[in-house]
Amino acid sequence: MHWKDLSLKYIDYLRGACRYPFLMVGRTPLKNLSREPLGFRVLVVAAHPDDETLGAGVLLHRLRHLGVDVRVVFTTNGRGLDWKTPVRQQHATAICRLREAQSALGTLGLSPDVIDGLGFPDRGLHRYLSCAWKDISDCLASVSPHFVVTHGLEGGHRDHDVTSLIVQLVAAAQEVPVLEWAEYNRDFSLTDPMVGFPRNGGASSPLTLTMTEEEWQLKATALKAYQSQPESRHIGRRQEVFRWAQSRDAVEMLDACGGEPRVLKTLQQFGKSKLRNPYPVRQIEPPGNLLPLP
């Protein structure tokens, strides 16, 4: 790991902002994830509170409408970029973002007791890859979802890509299909009226969910709950775009990640340490049509 990341990790440890797993800003007890899962189950893993609604809000609403047991877990605490912020203030920010998520997801039909946070530092998930791997493995094992919904490996925000990478690797090992959502990347910005995956990234064909007027309004209402994230509250898009994760060469997956060279180097080292034979990563094909898309 780069000296800069090691230093930040050490500072967060000394200040009590991130001492895995017992003292972490924004970490919830994860008791909701160990609750007995019922019926058809979907686990959503997002990097920050707001990503799940931006990327898949209407899909989650449709799944809930069908009676699917949807659980949501955030990998980071959304504390913001500045690690110098007093830890007490970081706690307040993390609580605020979790409450916003409860409110937004409540609008979409989810109850607060299905939402959890792992509490890794915002913009610093790549410093805790082994810990995040363990947590996500535990989440998948306890929820035993029929499929997982997460960020696309699309070269957008580095926490998004790291979350997607870990979820895809863990899900492949546990033989669970993964559905990726497109959020923003080099070809589509967050404010573009259209959304999609990078034009030359990945072989599987995208699945488009086109919103009804009512769904669009519902999503706009849900996003308004994110008062602390003014840029997320803009919604012009009338569709959500997904794809089933395909079996891919691990090197190709790493190439699809965004981030500074030091972050990519950390990911490469982690990939080599975790995967005995990292090429290829075999994803499970979803059985039949699992998605409520028209």
List the structure tokens of 269: 């080292």
Is residue 51 close enough to count as binding Zn ion by CB under 5 A? yes
Toward Zn ion, which CB reaches closer, 48 or 79? 48
* Pairing outcome for strands 207-210 and 239-244: antiparallel
Interface region with Zn ion, contact rule CB under 5 A, candidates 16-24, 51-59, 185-193, 226-234: 51-59
* Pairing outcome for strands 147-151 and 41-46: parallel
Size of the site for Zn ion (CB under 5 A): 3
- Dihedral of CA atoms 141, 143, 146, 151 in degrees, nearest 10, equals -90
Is residue 52 close enough to count as binding Zn ion by CB under 5 A? no
- Smallest distance from the beta carbon of 157 to Zn ion, in angstroms? 5
For Zn ion, the binding residue among 17, 33, 47, 63 (CB under 5 A) is: 47
Toward Zn ion, which CB reaches closer, 69 or 154? 154
List the structure tokens of 130: 């082994």
Q: Do the Cβ atoms of 121 and 127 come closer than 8 Å?
A: yes
Toward Zn ion, which CB reaches closer, 55 or 177? 55
Residue 78 Cα distances to 50, 84, 91, 241, 277, angstroms: 10, 14, 10, 24, 34
Interface region with Zn ion, contact rule CB under 5 A, candidates 49-57, 75-83, 193-201, 267-275: 49-57
Question: Minimal CA–CA distance to 60: which of 272, 226, 223?
Answer: 223
Toward Zn ion, which CB reaches closer, 69 or 242? 242
Q: How far apart are CA 271 and CA 273, in angstroms?
A: 6
Interface region with Zn ion, contact rule CB under 5 A, candidates 47-55, 79-87, 170-178, 237-245: 47-55
Is residue 151 close enough to count as binding Zn ion by CB under 5 A? no
For Zn ion, the binding residue among 48, 123, 219, 237 (CB under 5 A) is: 48
Give contact residues for Zn ion (rule: CB under 5 A).
47-48, 51
